[in-house]
Amino acid sequence: MIRSILFKKVYGCLLAGVMGDAMGAPTEGMTYSEIKEKFGFVDDFQGAGTDDSAIKLILCEAILKHNGYVTADEFADAFLNNKKNYYSLFYIPVRNMFHKIESKLTLPVYAGLGNMQSSSSAMAISPLGLINACNPRQAALETYDVAGLIHAGDTTFCRDGACAIAAAVAEAMSPQATVESIVLASYTYLHKDSSVEMVECINKTVSMARDAGNYEKFREVFYGNSLRHVISDSRETVPCTMAILLLADGDPTKAMQYAANFGRDADTIGTMVGAICGAFKGVDGLKADWVQRIESTYGQKQENSKGVDIETKVPDQSKLADQIVDVLLHKADSFRNCLDKIAKIQ
């Protein structure tokens, strides 16, 4: 079957997101020195990802059920629908949010208030970039609502991080995209004042990568002065994702391996940079044997990359890509309809 470039980009984003997640799982929480001592250099993956990939599937469920129009409310419903499937994987702020909405202690738009910092939205947000392909501003705008389910208030920079990743994926889908345009899109559409902390973190870290000139030197310098108290802090993971994207020149394999060997929240950095590079290069830009490995597991019981038992089966990411393409085309038709109406009243 001949597949469109659009499908290949969507499918590449989904697959590379899983690959990066799974590759980074064994090194999560480790320093790069510890990784080198234990593994040498991590260059492959096993399993179907971690909570990063699970929450992405929850978001996809909400997107497909509501034909691409998702807010914090629809995302919350999808979480409630998947308690049996994925609850055991949820990290502290996600569980906190979950119990707030399950017990009706608060509305979904307020559930993110008071939750600790993490990358729980950013790591799973790439589907919002896909359904807003080539429109990073819209991707950031829609993400701000959706990501508020898990983070708001004092940790709203985590929501900003999710907006940055969604915008980067949306830009990566463009046929004119470059690594530089993707990095630029990650912070251009964030709030001018309210998102200044995330914007500054991205710019500082990307500049550090440019000055370092190579991955190993960047990693050393970043460890020396930019680590956060919590490894999953999006002020660390999102900027590092953009820096690794730049240093890998958008190559999916190199970017995912850089993420895995970076350590810290390696699976989250891996899934975010994998999704961006997968959207940029498409499925044809991924290692063929890696693609075949994942495809051979479709429908089988999931082997979580962290060894946590879950009851779900590995989803057919190809089928999911087809469904996302349909949603994207539906949204594109809606935009065209609006433009036609505007043209008639000019």
Q: At which residue do the structure tokens 């993490």 appear? A: 118
Chain center to CA of 144: 14
**Which amino acid is located at 174 in the chain?**
S
- C-alpha count within 13 angstroms, C-beta hemisphere, residue 139: 32
- C-alpha count within 13 angstroms, C-beta hemisphere, residue 341: 6
- Cα separation values, 309 from 55, 99, 266, 325, Å: 16, 21, 21, 31
Contacts by 311-316, CB closer than 8 A, 24 or more apart: 311/84, 311/85, 312/85, 312/86, 314/48, 315/57
CATH of the domain at 102: 1.10.4080.10
Range of the domain at 315: 5-344
Q: How many domains, in total, are found in the chain?
A: 1
List, in order, residues 6 or more apart from 280 with CB less than 8 Å away. Answer: 9, 172, 177, 179, 182, 250, 252
- pLDDT value, residue 317: 96
- C-alpha count within 13 angstroms, C-beta hemisphere, residue 164: 34
How far apart CA 25 and CA 45 sit, in angstroms, is 9
Mean pLDDT by 10 residues, the chain (346 residues): 92 98 96 97 91 95 97 98 90 96 97 96 98 98 98 96 98 98 98 97 98 97 96 98 98 98 98 98 98 92 66 86 97 94 95
- pLDDT value, residue 49: 85
How long a stretch of residues is the chain? Answer: 346
Residue 140 in 3-state DSSP? helix
- pLDDT value, residue 48: 82
DSSP 345: T
Residue 31 in 3-state DSSP? coil
Phi, psi of 308, deg, nearest 5? -85, 130
Nearest by Cα to 61 from 49, 50, 74: 74
- pLDDT value, residue 305: 58
- pLDDT value, residue 184: 98
- pLDDT value, residue 336: 94
How far apart CA 312 and CA 296 sit, in angstroms, is 16
Q: Do residues 191 and 143 touch, judged by C-beta distance below 8 A?
A: no
How far apart CA 96 and CA 264 sit, in angstroms, is 23
- pLDDT value, residue 89: 87
Nearest by Cα to 55 from 100, 16, 18, 86: 86
Q: Which residues, in sequence order, are bridge partners of residue 152?
A: 113
